[in-house]
Amino acid sequence: MTAGEGPSRRVVLTGALAVALAGVTGCTRDPAPTDTGPSADRRTLADPEPSRDDGDVARVVQAIAAEETLLRYCTAMERRHRSSRPVLRPLITRQRAHVTTLRDILIDNPAEPTTVTPPVPTGQRAAIRELEGLLVTARDERLGDCLAVSSGLLARVLASTSASHACTFASLQGQP
């Protein structure tokens, strides 16, 4: 592989570290508190683990909103900068999968869809730089979520999402 093709070794190792951290956090954390019934907003996690942490539910709801905002930015950018479609279409597909996976975690009263679309700069280069910033923020937030949740299975999903954002960010490097 020549320089500039695919993700760099650093990005791949960062993604692998995020996935490894998810496995470790799921195996070494103290057990979550026992379930005391439905939360006030009646959201629960679809997780085979017997207990649930309402903090985890709140993190999933926040993650869904953030991932939907990123998805909406990508679709708006695709409409505004048609020449970026070859780059954006796979990203949009992955973003839809991230949102679907996170929404499927909530089994009662799913989070309300995000309706705000972030503004897309008129210049394509500026739009890509903005997208890179959104991806870095999403990567860091999902990694933080991964390390903070009490459910090991949820940590894996969040780590995988974080790693996906890291790889996408790397693939955008060098785009005009």
At 29, the pLDDT band (50, 70, 90 cuts) reads very low
- Sorted by where each begins, the domain ranges of the chain are 54-172
CA distance linking residue 55 with residue 64, whole number of Å: 14
What tens digit of pLDDT does each residue of 50-94 get? 445 678 988 999 999 999 999 999 999 999 999 999 999 999 999
- Asked whether 156 and 23 are in contact (CB, 8 A), the reply is yes
Alpha-helix runs per DSSP H in the chain: 9-28, 54-80, 85-105, 124-148, 152-172
d(C-alpha 41, C-alpha 25), whole Å: 27
The domain 54-172: what is its CATH number? Answer: 1.20.1260.10
Query: Quick check: 114 and 65 in contact, CB under 8 A?
Result: yes
pTM (predicted TM-score) = 0.69
